[in-house]
Amino acid sequence: MLAEKVNLYQELAKELAKEFAPKAAHWDETRTYCHENIKSLVKARFDGHDYSQGIRGPGGFIL
Amino acid sequence: MGMTIPKEYGGLGASFYDCALVIEEIAKACTLTARIVVEANMGGISAVMAYGTHEQKAFCAPIVLAGDKPAICITEPDAGSAATEMQTTARKSGDRYILNGTKHWITGGGVSKLHLVFARVLDENGNEEGIGGFIVHHDPDARIEPKGFEVVRRERTMGLCGMPEAELKFSDLEVGEAFLLRPSAGLKRSFAQLMEAYNSQRVGAGTIAMGVAAGALDRAKDYLKMREQFGRPLAEFQGLQWMVADMDASVHASRLMLREAAKTAQVSATGFPDMMMAARAKLFASEAAIKVVNDALQMFGARGYGDQEPLERMYRDVRMFTIGGGTAQILRTQVAGNLLDIKTPQTREGYVDAADIGSVRAVGE
C-alpha cells in the first residue's frame, strides 16, 4: 500500500472523533444541538499549531 | 470551526481538501457534528470569504471562529430544486434593503447566528436587479434580534435529529446595504457566482455521507470477525465477504472522487471546487453511502435494526444526503448538462446551448 503523508488536521480530527462518538446517540434521541462538541472544535483550533506544515516523526508530531 | 477562514481574519487558512479529511473522521463518529464542520468552513462562510468586502469578512469571521454554524437560506416553499424561482425580495430603501419572504428547510434555523439570505434584489422603483445574498445576524443570547426576523417552526426529521431544520419568515426585515454580498460579476450574475461557493458545500456534504459509510464499514468488519454462527466467524462466509468487498470499493471510490473535487479548488479561478466534479462526487458518494450503511446494518441482523448499535441512526442520518444540497436528480441533470454541453434543466421553450445562452431553439429543430 502506498504511504500517505500524515495530515495533522486529520490526526486531530481522529482524536476529536473519539470524544464525539459516545455522545452521538444523545443528540439524536433528545433532538438537541451539540453545543458541547462545538466548544471542543473551537478549542482545538485555538491550540495554535500550524497543522498544515506538520509531519509525523518517530517521537510524535514535529511542528 | 472556521479552519478555511484566511489567517488574516483569524482562521487557519486551510484548504477544502484539508477540511474534507477532517469531515470524514468526524462523520465516522457523529454525523451532526460533521454537518456543523461543513457549514462552518464551506458554503455560506466561504462565499463571504470569497466575495465579501473586508468589513463583511471581518464581521463574519469572529462569529464563526467562536463556534457559529452559518445558515445558508435559499430554499422556499415554492422554490426547492428550482432555486431561481425564489419569491423573497429585498427592496432598496435609502441605505438599506427591506426583506420580505419565507425560507424553509433552513439547516440550523434557530441556532445559527449568521445567515446568508438569498433574495430578489429590487431597486427603489421595484425593478429587479438580480438575486443577491444578504448577511443577517440573529443572536437572541446577545440580544441581537432584528425586527422582522422570525423562526416560525422546526421540522421533525428522520435523521440528523440534533440539527434544526426550520422555517424562517422575514417581514420588512431591514438589512444595511453594507451587508449585501456583491460578487465581481455584478447583481445580474450574482446568484451564479455565489453558487460557486455551493460546490464546496457539496464536496463537504458528500464527504459526510462517505464518512458515515466508512464508519459503518469499520463496524461491519469488526463484527464479521467477532460474531460466530454455525460454529465459525461470519467473516468466513463468502456471501458476506463479497458484500464487505463491495462496500469497501464504494467507499474508496467515493473518497477518491470527493478528494479529487476538493483539490480542484486549489487551482480553479473561482477558488472553489469544479462544479462538475463536485456534483458527480456528491451524487456518487451519497447514493453509495446509503447502500453501504444499509448493508452494514444487514450484517448486524436484528442487532443492527435496534438502537443497541449506531447503525439504525447512521442509516437515518445518511438518507438526507441524496436530498439536501442538491438532490441526486438535480446533480445528474448538472452532470448531464456538462457532458452534453447544453443548459439544463430543459424548459418548455426548448433547449439552450451552454456556449450560446442567447440562442434558443425548439427541441427537434
What residues of B are in contact with residue A33 (Cβ under 8 Å)? 32, 111, 162-164
Q: Which own/partner pairs from B139-143 qualify as long-range (CB within 8 Å, at least 24 positions apart)?
A: B139/B113
User: Positive or negative CA dihedral for B123, B53, B143, A37?
Assistant: positive
Q: Which of A5-9, B103-107, B154-158 has the lowest mean pLDDT?
A: A5-9
> Which bin fits A60, alpha (ψ -120 to 50), beta or left (φ > 0)?
left
A3 band by pLDDT with thresholds 50, 70 and 90? low
- Looking at residue B363, its pLDDT comes to 34
d(CA B159, CA B211): 16
Percent of chain B with pLDDT over 90: 85
What residues of A are in contact with residue B6 (Cβ under 8 Å)? none
In chain B, the domains with their CATH numbers are 193-346 (1.20.140.10)
**Residue A58, min C-alpha distance to chain B (Å):** 22
Q: What is the mean pLDDT of residues B100-114?
A: 96
- Looking at residue B79, its pLDDT comes to 83
DSSP state of B338: H
Alpha helices in chain B (DSSP H): 16-29, 31-39, 44-51, 54-65, 190-194, 196-226, 238-264, 275-300, 302-305, 311-318, 328-340
Say which of B30, B65, B164 has its CB closest to residue A20. Answer: B30
Bridge partner list, B137 = B114
Q: What is the mean pLDDT of residues B333-339?
A: 94
- Chain B nearest-CA residue for A26: B162
Q: What are the boundaries of each domain within chain A?
A: 8-62
Identity of the amino acid at B64: V
d(CA B309, CA B186): 51
What residues of B are in contact with residue A34 (Cβ under 8 Å)? 30, 32-33, 36, 162
Cell of B43: 458554503
d(CA B252, CA A42): 30
- Looking at residue B223, its pLDDT comes to 98
A22 alpha-carbon distance from chain centroid? 15
Residue B112, classified by CB atoms within 10 Å of its CB into exposed (0-12), middle (13-18) or buried (19+), is buried
Would an 8 Å CB–CB cutoff place A2 in contact with chain B? no
Identity of the amino acid at B264: T
SS3 annotation, B131-169 = EEEEEEECEHHHCECCCCEEEEEECCCCCCCCCCEEEEE
Tell which residue, B137, B118, B125, B129, has the closest CA to residue B181.
Answer: B118
Q: What is the mean pLDDT of residues B118-147?
A: 95
User: A1: Cβ–Cβ under 8 A, 6 or more apart, which residues?
Assistant: none
Percent of chain B with pLDDT over 70: 94
Identity of the amino acid at B336: A
Task: Say whether pLDDT at B77 is over 60.
Answer: yes
Select the residue from B33, B69, B106 to test the A interface by mutation, using most A Cβ atoms within 10 A. Answer: B33
What residues of B are in contact with residue A53 (Cβ under 8 Å)? none
Contact A20 B310 (CB under 8 A): no
Mean pLDDT of chain B: 93
B194 band by pLDDT with thresholds 50, 70 and 90? confident
Would an 8 Å CB–CB cutoff place B85 in contact with chain A? no
| Cβ contact B217:B244 at 8 Å | yes
B361 band by pLDDT with thresholds 50, 70 and 90? very low
**Residue B31, min C-alpha distance to chain A (Å):** 8
Neighbours of B34 (CB within 10 A): 29
- Looking at residue B359, its pLDDT comes to 41
Q: What is the mean pLDDT of residues B30-42?
A: 97
> Which bin fits B19, alpha (ψ -120 to 50), beta or left (φ > 0)?
alpha
Bridge partner list, B106 = B166
A50 band by pLDDT with thresholds 50, 70 and 90? very low
Q: State ipTM.
A: 0.90
| Cβ contact B42:B203 at 8 Å | yes
Select the residue from B25, B68, B151, B316 to test the A interface by mutation, using most A Cβ atoms within 10 A. Answer: B25
Q: What is the mean pLDDT of residues A35-57?
A: 67
Say which of B24, B66, B164 has its CB closest to residue A42. Answer: B66
| Cβ contact B67:B149 at 8 Å | no
Q: pLDDT (tens digit, 9 = 90+) per residue, B214-241?
A: 999 999 999 999 999 999 999 999 999 9
Task: Say whether pLDDT at B360 is over 80.
Answer: no
Q: What is the mean pLDDT of residues B48-75?
A: 96
Task: Say whether pLDDT at B108 is over 60.
Answer: yes
Q: What is the mean pLDDT of residues B62-68?
A: 96
CA angle B346, B273, B185 (to 5 degrees): 70
Q: What is the mean pLDDT of residues B293-321?
A: 97
